[in-house]
């Protein structure tokens, strides 16, 4: 796997943690200071839980009366991943479990954290969205060599493929090419002449 496609390449490394015996107010102050919403909780250097600003605010008033600690409200045994985890697997876990972040663990210690924002940034960069150019959409034919034919037309029209992705809808495989240079409209015309469906240029 290309190193840019794993969690280590995109996680936040400047990790801020808190001890499980810290007070609720202390944890909120740390979050405010570093403008973060999640804190990995550690004990003797080992990762033991995760706490969010939402969790803390819900018990802030009660903590003034009962002297609650982070350990009283933290999520124990939260979902966590290793830094070698493929980026798309981390994205799938966050989506499937409806969570905002994943602590990154190495030998029991928290070494980073990857958030929804980190993953969105990764896919934006990988897909070349901020590099400009145009997106050419086309549904490939169900025949061998269809992909190569489309790539050949893009290159013949002077285009350079920055990235390519695919969405599946039933039996249709729609491919999305991020293209720099060339004549995208000319590519679309040529593909339509050859019988390709769903051809569209998005500038």
pLDDT, tens only, 102-154: 999 999 999 999 999 999 999 988 888 888 889 999 999 989 999 999 999 99
Q: Which residues pair with 137 in a beta bridge?
A: 176, 200
Structure confidence at residue 1 as a pLDDT band (50, 70, 90): very low
Interval 38-82: pLDDT, tens: 999 999 989 999 999 988 888 877 777 678 899 999 999 899 999
- The predicted model gives 154-172 an average pLDDT of 89
Kindly list the structural domains of the chain, giving each domain's residue range(s) and its CATH number in brackets, ordered by start.
Answer: 3-124 (3.10.580.10), 128-202 (3.30.70.260)
Angle 67-73-79 from CA coordinates, rounded to 5°: 155
pLDDT higher at 35 or 1: 35
Summary mean pLDDT of the chain: 91
Which pLDDT belongs to residue 128? 84
Q: Any residues with CB less than 8 A from the CB of 73 and at least 6 apart, and which? A: 24, 51, 55, 56, 58, 59
Pick the range with the lowest mean pLDDT from 8-12, 129-133, 169-173, 199-203. Answer: 169-173
The tokens describing 199, both together, are: 């051809």
């Amino acid at each position: 796997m290309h190193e840019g496609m794993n969690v280590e390449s995109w996680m936040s490394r400047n990790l801020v943690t808190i001890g499980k015996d810290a007070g609720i107010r202390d944890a909120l102050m740390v979050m405010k200071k570093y403008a973060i919403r999640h804190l990995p909780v550690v004990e003797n250097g080992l990762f033991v839980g995760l706490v969010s600003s939402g969790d803390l605010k819900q018990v802030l008033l009660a903590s003034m009366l009962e002297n609650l600690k982070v350990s009283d409200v933290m999520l124990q045994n939260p979902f966590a991943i290793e830094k070698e985890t493929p980026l798309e697997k981390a994205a799938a876990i966050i989506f499937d479990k409806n969570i905002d972040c994943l602590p990154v663990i190495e030998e029991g210690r928290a070494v980073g954290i990857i958030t929804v924002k980190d993953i969105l940034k990764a896919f934006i960069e990988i897909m070349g969205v901020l590099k400009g150019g145009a997106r050419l959409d086309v549904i490939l034919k169900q025949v061998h060599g269809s992909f190569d034919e489309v790539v050949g037309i893009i290159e013949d029209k002077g285009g350079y493929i920055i990235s390519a992705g695919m969405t599946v809808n039933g039996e249709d495989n729609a491919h999305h090419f991020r293209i720099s240079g060339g004549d995208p409209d000319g590519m679309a015309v040529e593909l339509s002449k050859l019988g390709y469906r769903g051809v569209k240029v998005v500038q």
